C-alpha cells in the first residue's frame, strides 16, 4: 500500500520510471530478430585474439580515420554493396561488425548472414562503447 501511495504522490517520478521501462523494452526488442550475437568490447578482444576474428568497421572513412580498432577493415555503410565482395575470402572466420553506436551494425549482420557468413557478431554500443571501455584505437 505504501508503494501505491508513494507513486500517487510522486507522479513525475512514476512517469519517468514508466518511460524508462518502456525505453528499455524497446531497446532490447530492437536487437531481437537480428541473427548476430551482441558482444561487449572485452568479448571482441577475445574473438580477435583467440579466434582470429576480423572487425568490419562500417563507419564512413573520415570517422574510421579518426580512430578505429587495430586491424579493422573499413567498409562504409554507404559503400557496402560495392565493397562487400572483399569479404568473400573471410567466410568461416568470425566477423565483428562495428559502427558508431551499435545500431547500424545490426542491419549489416543480417545481410552478412543472409549470404552465408557465419559466425557474425556486432559490438554493442559501437565505437562509443569501445572508447568508454578504455580500449586502444588506431589513427
71 pLDDT higher than 90 = yes
Helix, coil or strand: residue 75:
coil
**CA distances (Å), 89 to each of 6, 53, 54, 106, in order?**
61, 13, 12, 22
Find the domain containing 77 and state its range: 35-132
pLDDT, averaged across the chain: 88
Residues 67 and 83 in one domain: yes
**CA distances (Å), 86 to each of 61, 80, 90, 138, in order?**
16, 10, 8, 21
> Which residue did the predictor score with more confidence, 122 or 11?
122
How large is the average pLDDT for residues 85-100? 92
Residues 39 and 28 in one domain: no
pLDDT in tens, 99-108: 999 888 988 9
Residues 69 and 115 in one domain: yes
Residues 56 and 116 in one domain: yes
Residues 24 and 40 in one domain: no
46 pLDDT higher than 80 = yes
Residues 13 and 76 in one domain: no
Residues 84 and 60 in one domain: yes
Amino acid at each position: 500500500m505504501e508503494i501505491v501511495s508513494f507513486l500517487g504522490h510522486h507522479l513525475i517520478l512514476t512517469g519517468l520510471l514508466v518511460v524508462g521501462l518502456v525505453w528499455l523494452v524497446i531497446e532490447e526488442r530492437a536487437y531481437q530478430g537480428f541473427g548476430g550475437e551482441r558482444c561487449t568490447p572485452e568479448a571482441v578482444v577475445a574473438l580477435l585474439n583467440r579466434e582470429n576474428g576480423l572487425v568490419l568497421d562500417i563507419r564512413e572513412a573520415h570517422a574510421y580515420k579518426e580512430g578505429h580498432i587495430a586491424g579493422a577493415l573499413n567498409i562504409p555503410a554507404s559503400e557496402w554493396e560495392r565493397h562487400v565482395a572483399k569479404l568473400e575470402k573471410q567466410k568461416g572466420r568470425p566477423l565483428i561488425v562495428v559502427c558508431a553506436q551499435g545500431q547500424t551494425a545490426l542491419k549489416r549482420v543480417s545481410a552478412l548472414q543472409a549470404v552465408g557468413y557465419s559466425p557474425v557478431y556486432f559490438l554493442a554500443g559501437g565505437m562509443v562503447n569501445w572508447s568508454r571501455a578504455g580500449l586502444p584505437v588506431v589513427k
